[in-house]
Amino acid sequence: MNYYSDEKDWQWLFRNGIDWDKIIPLYYKSFPTEEGFNSKKEVVDFFEEILQNTGEWTGNAVTERAALLDKEGAGKVVDGRTIPSESLQALYNEAIELDSIGLPFPTELGGLGAPSAITLMLLAQLSRACLASSTQMAFFTSIGEMIHRFCDEETAHRLVPMIARGEISGSMCLTEPGCGSDLGMIKTSATPTDDGKYLLNGAKIFITNGGGGLGFVLARIKDDKEGLEGISMFLCEQVLEGQEKLNYIVAKNEDKMGMHGSFTTEVVYENSVATLVGEAGKGFKYMLHLMNEARIAVGMQALGTIEGSLGYAINYAKEREQFGKPLTELPLMKRNLEDFTTERDAIRALLVDTISHYDIFQRLDLKKTKTGDLTKEEEVLFKEASLWTRKRTPLVKYYACEQATLLTQRSIQILGGYGFMEEYPVERFHRDSFGPLLYEGTSQIQALMALKDIMKYAMKDPKRFFSNVLFKHPSKELLNGSNSWEKSFSSSHYKFKKNMVKLLMKCLRPEIGELFNPKAWASDENVSELMEHAETLCQALSYMETARVLCEHANIDEERKDLFFRYQKLILPRLEGIYTDWSIR
Ligand X SMILES: Cc1cc2nc3c(=O)[nH]c(=O)nc-3n(C[C@H](O)[C@H](O)[C@H](O)COP(=O)(O)OP(=O)(O)OC[C@H]3O[C@@H](n4cnc5c(N)ncnc54)[C@H](O)[C@@H]3O)c2cc1C
Cα distance between residue 431 and residue 256, in whole Å: 9
Size of the site for ligand X (CB under 6 A): 20
Whole-angstrom distance, CA of residue 98 vs CA of residue 53: 8
Q: Which long-range contacts (CB under 8 A, 24 or more apart) does 559-566 make?
A: 560/12, 561/484, 561/485, 563/342, 563/345, 563/346, 563/349, 564/485, 564/488, 564/489, 565/485, 565/488, 566/338, 566/342
What angle, rounded to 10 degrees, do the helices at 484-508 and 462-470 form? 130
Q: Which of residues 518-547 bind ligand X (CB under 6 A)?
A: none
- Contact characters 237-266, ligand X, x per CB under 6 A: ----------------------x----x--
Q: Taking the complex as a whole, how short is the minimal distance between the CB of residue 443 and ligand X, in angstroms? A: 6
Query: How many residues are listed for the chain in this entry?
Result: 585
Task: Write out the DSSP string of 515-547.
Answer: TT-HHHH--HHHHHHHHTTHHHHHHHHHHHHHH
Q: Which residue is nearest to ligand X (CB)?
A: 180
Judged by CB under 6 A, does residue 364 bind ligand X? no
Strand partners of residue 78: 81
Which C-beta is closer to ligand X: that of 28 or that of 439? 439
Contact status: 174 vs ligand X (CB under 6 A): yes
Q: Note whether 227 binds ligand X by CB under 6 A.
A: no
Q: How far apart are CA 16 and CA 18, in angstroms?
A: 6
If one asks whether residue 175 binds ligand X (CB under 6 A), the answer comes out as yes
The piece of 142-150, 206-214, 457-465, 571-579 that touches ligand X (CB under 6 A) is: 206-214
Q: Which of 240, 438, 470, 556 binds ligand X (CB under 6 A)?
A: 438
Q: Cα-atom radius of gyration of the chain, to the nearest Å?
A: 24
Residue from 134, 136, 142, 208 binding ligand X (CB under 6 A):
208
Given a contact cutoff of 8 angstroms between Cβ atoms, the answer to whether 438 and 401 are in contact is no
Segment near ligand X (CB under 6 A); pick from 234-242, 310-318, 415-423, 433-441: 433-441
State which of residues 181, 483, 523, 580 lies at the interface with ligand X (CB under 6 A).
181
d(CA 500, CA 493): 10
173 binds ligand X (CB under 6 A): yes
For ligand X, give the closer residue by CB, 141 or 175: 175
- Please pick, from the candidates 33, 442, 526, 555, the single residue that binds ligand X as defined by CB under 6 A: 442
Using the rule CB under 6 A, is 206 a contact of ligand X? yes
The contact mask relative to ligand X for 264-303 (x = CB under 6 A, - = no) is x---------------------------------------
Beta carbon nearer to ligand X, 186 or 554: 186
The yes or no reply on residue 207 touching ligand X (CB under 6 A) is: yes
Nearest approach, Cβ of 404 to ligand X (angstroms)? Answer: 14
Q: Which residues is 94 bridged to in the sheet?
A: none
**Residues near 431 by beta carbon (within 8 Å), at least 6 away in sequence:** 257, 258, 259
Q: Which is nearer to ligand X, 221 or 448 (CB)?
A: 448
Choices 172-180, 353-361, 503-511, 546-554; region in contact with ligand X by CB under 6 A? 172-180
Is residue 444 a contact point for ligand X (CB under 6 A)?
Answer: yes
- Phi then psi for 490, rounded to 5 degrees? -60, -45
| Alpha-helical runs (H) found in 108-230 | 116-129, 131-150, 153-164
Q: Closest approach of Cβ 445 to ligand X, in Å?
A: 6
**Minimum CB–partner distance for residue 438 and ligand X (Å):** 4
Contact footprint for ligand X (CB under 6 A): 171-175, 180-181, 206-208, 259, 264, 435, 438-439, 441-442, 444-445, 448
